[in-house]
Amino acid sequence: MENLYREDSIAGQVYDDHYFNLKSLKSRRDALEAEIERLDIELQKHAIRAPFDGVVLERLTARGEWLSPGSKVAKVALYDRVDVVIDLPEEDIRYVKRGEPVTVTISGKAHKGRIRSIVPRGDISTRTFPVKIDLKNTGNLKQGMDATVTIATGRKVDTLIVPRDAVISMFGRTVVFTVLDGKAKMLPATIVGYEGLKAGIRAPGLKEGMPVVIKGNERLRNGQPVRVGQNQ
């Protein structure tokens, strides 16, 4: 159009109108580009990123939801490291220390791990303390899998293995019920450890081969008549 103006092929007013319109459009374009850049910076500021690479276990908010500072948006787990949590009896807690190596068996495969922390608050009913073990994830470990942990405490402990359901909490104590002369006999018990559906216990008065009650024991009372079944 500038060449046409020089050759007097278009009127000066027409040229001026187009010139200032083009200049206005360029200014508008520059303003929009600046606004896009500003919004991109704001978006980066408001983006929520985990401090590590991991897997989202649970979303706690929905897209577009307004959040306040400190709001929880998701549960994220480390992918290359996992925590194995076990409940250790109070009489054994003094034998383990942070950083000690342990063996963790999951799905028949042994893994090497280390004790990461010992939670100082225990469970009053079971007299156990949570112990967290740091374990490298080879890619096959998933949340909720059962694990068996072997810890070298440097001492021998005589235990009896009973079904986990046989060990209950009653009157603020951990107990098991056996049967003597057709009547329920309540015995105080100390939990040594768990392995799957089994529990290792120490219970004065309970000997190998004696029956333990695994069904209805929450309703039993000491001395109550019982009938021994095949699974009791």
How much is the pLDDT for 204?
92
Mean pLDDT calculated for residue range 115-141: 86
> How confident is residue 197, by pLDDT bands cut at 50, 70 and 90?
confident
The secondary structure element, H or E, covering residue 175 is strand 173-180
In terms of pTM, does the model score above 0.85? no
In the numeric block, the tokens 């994220």 are attached to: 76
pLDDT for residue 52: 75
Q: Which strands form 109-118's sheet, in the order they lie side by side?
A: 81-89, 128-136, 109-118, 101-106, 148-150
Confidence of residue 232 (pLDDT cuts 50, 70, 90): very low
| Banded pLDDT at 53 (limits 50, 70, 90) | confident
Contact (CB, 8 A) for 203 and 176: yes
On the question of pLDDT at 9 being above 60, the answer is no
pLDDT class of 6 with cuts at 50, 70, 90:
low
Cα 70 to Cα 54, 74, 187, 198: the distances in Å are: 20, 12, 49, 42
What are residue 76's phi and psi, to 5 degrees? -120, 135
- Look over the chain and give the mean of its residue pLDDT values, rounded to a whole number: 83
What pLDDT shows up at residue 156? 64
CB 105 within 8 A of CB 153: no
Dist. CA 47–CA 60, nearest whole Å: 16
Mean pLDDT of 51-69: 81
Cα of 138 vs its chain's centroid, Å: 17
CB 187, CB 206: distance < 8 Å: yes
pLDDT at 182 over 80: yes
| CATH fold for domain 160-219 | 2.40.420
* For residues 94-108, average pLDDT: 87
Q: How far is CA 154 from each of CA 92, 94, 103, 150, 151, rounded to the nearest angstrom?
A: 11, 11, 15, 12, 9
The region of weakest confidence among 22-26, 200-204, 216-220 is: 22-26
What is the model's pLDDT at position 59?
Answer: 86
Provide the CATH number for the domain formed by 82-150 in this structure. Answer: 2.40.30.170
Q: How far apart are CA 213 and CA 199, in angstroms?
A: 14
Per DSSP bridges, beta strands 81-89 and 168-170 are unpaired
Q: What is the pLDDT of residue 116?
A: 92
